Amino acid sequence: MKCRHCAAPLQHTFLDLGFAPPSNAYLSVSQLSAPERYYPLRLKVCENCWLVQAESYSHAAELFPPDYAYFSSTSSTWLAHAASYAGSIVRQLALNRESFVIEVASNDGYLLRNFVDAGIPCLGIEPADRTADAAEKLGIPVLRKFFGEALGQQLAREGKQADLIVGNNVFAHVPDINDFARGLKAALKPGGTVTLEFPHLLRLMEQTQFDTVYHEHFSYLSLYSVLRIFAAAGLRVADVEELPTHGGSLRVYGCNEGDRRKDSASILSILAAERNAGLKDIDVYMAFQKRADAVKDQLLKFLIELKHEGRKVAGYGAAAKGNTLLNYGGVKPDLLPFVCDASPSKQGKFLPGSHIPILAPSALSERRPDVVLILPWNIADEIAEQHSYIKSWGGQFVLVVPQIRILQ
C-alpha cells in the first residue's frame, strides 16, 4: 500500500485492532441471523509525510449507506459548539447577506441552521439521505453528493465559490484526502476562508485514544501532515486553534496560497508540540499497540469482575468509538447486556459485531445498573449530568479510555 498523500510505500503497521464490522452498521433484529462483514482495522504511518492512515479495504459507498444513523444534533454539547463557532466566524469574516457559506458534510443542519437564522446564504453538501432530509426541513439547501475536486470545480463553474467553506469532522473521513483538498481549493473564492476541524493525532497518541480508530476514519491528522496536504492543493494554513472537542481537536483556518494574511504564531507552537511528542519518530508509533492492549485488558478484567460479583452493568452511547473498543475486546452481551442511546434511530437496533441491544435511556431507571460505562468519553460530562439520577440507587458512571476511572 502507498501513502494516500505522498504515494511513498507504507512500511509500518503500528496498530492492529483485528477485524471489525463498520462502526455505524447498526443491526435490526432480522439482520442478527444474517452474516456480517468484517474488515481489517489497522493503522499505518508514512515515514515520508507522517500521515497516519487506515489500511485501505473498501469503498465509501458501503460505509455510508442511505440509512446512516448519525445525527449531529443529538448532542447538545455539539450543538452549542456549532452555534458558538457560527457566531464568532460571522463576526470575524464580516459575513452578511451577500456572502456565501458552504458546509461539506452538513449532516442534519446542526451548524448551517445558525447561518440560515442570520440570513446568510448557504449550501450544505451531504450524501446521506436521512440527515439531508432533516437539514432541508430547517430551510437549508442541500446537495446530496460526496465532495471532491469534481464537485468543487462544478460549484466554481456555477458561480458558487464560497467566502467560507466549513468542514467539521469530514477531512479525516475521506478516502482521497488530496482530491478533497483540491475540491476545497476549487470551491473557494479568492480571499475566502476554509475552516476544518478534525481530531488531533497528538491527543490520540498521548491519551491512547485507540477507540477513535474505525473504518470510516481514514486519516489521523497532525498539523504537520495537514500543512503538507494543503500546500499540495494550493492552499495555506494561516491559523490554527486547539479545541476540546472529540478528546482534543484542531481547527485550521486555510486560505489560497497567495493570500496576503499572515501566519499566526500558534502554527509554530503546535508543530513544536507535535515534534516533542515524537510524531515524527517511528519508535513512538511502534510502542502504541502495547498501550492500547493494556486499556483493552483492563476493561475485560473490570467487566469479568463485575459479572463475578453479580453487579449489574450497562453502557451509554452507541457511538462508533464504543464499537471499536467493544469489538477489539470481544465484549458480548454476557459482559455488557445493553447500551442506552438518546438517538431514536438507534434504539431497538444492535451494535455491530457485539450484537449488544441498544435501548432508550429510560432503561437506566427501569433496570438500575450499578455501573454505567460511558462509551463516547468526549461527551461524558453531558451524559453524566443528564442522567445523574443513577446516583439515587448507588449507580456510578465509569470511563474506560485511557484508563478505568469512576466519574464523580
Q: Which positions lie near Zn ion, rule CB under 5 A?
A: 3, 5-6, 8, 46, 48-49, 51
The least CB distance from residue 155 to Zn ion, in Å, is: 28
Question: Long-range contacts made by residues 303-306, C-beta under 8 angstroms, separation at least 24?
Answer: 303/331, 303/335, 303/336, 304/335, 306/370, 306/371
Of all helices (H) and strands (E), which one includes residue 306? helix 288-308
For residues 46 and 122, which CB has a smaller minimum distance to Zn ion in the complex? 46
Closer by beta carbon to Zn ion, 118 or else 286: 286
**Residue 85 Cβ, how far from Zn ion at the closest point, in Å?**
30
Q: What is the DSSP letter of 320?
A: H
CA 203 to chain centroid: 13
Q: Which is nearer to Zn ion, 5 or 185 (CB)?
A: 5
Q: How far is the CB of 10 from Zn ion (least distance, A)?
A: 8
Q: How far is the CB of 3 from Zn ion (least distance, A)?
A: 3
Give residue for cell 509500518: 12
- 336-339 long-range contacts, Cβ below 8 Å, gap at least 24? 336/303, 336/373, 337/312, 337/313, 338/314, 338/363, 338/367, 339/314, 339/315, 339/375
Closest CA to 306 of 361, 391, 389, 369: 369
Evaluate whether 337 touches 314 at the Cβ level (below 8 Å). yes
CB of 224 or CB of 328, closer to Zn ion: 224
CB of 59 vs Zn ion, minimal distance in Å = 22
Q: Which is nearer to Zn ion, 243 or 284 (CB)?
A: 284
Cβ-based neighbours of 268, under 8 Å, separated by 6 or more:
none
Which is closer to Zn ion, CB of 50 or CB of 70?
50
User: For residues 257 and 377, what is the distance between their CA atoms, to the nearest angstrom?
Assistant: 37
Using alpha carbons only, what angle is made at residue 339 by residues 335 and 345, rounded to the nearest 5 degrees? Answer: 150
DSSP character string of 108-138: TSTTHHHHHHTT--EEEE---HHHHHHHHHT
Q: Residue 176 or residue 370: which is nearer to Zn ion going by CB?
A: 176
Minimum distance, C-beta of residue 6 to Zn ion, in the bound complex (Å):
3
CB-wise, 54 or 400, nearer to Zn ion?
Answer: 54
Amino acid at position 235, single letter: L
CB of 8 to Zn ion, least distance (A): 5
Q: How far is the CB of 271 from Zn ion (least distance, A)?
A: 17
- C-alpha 294/C-alpha 272 separation (Å) is 28
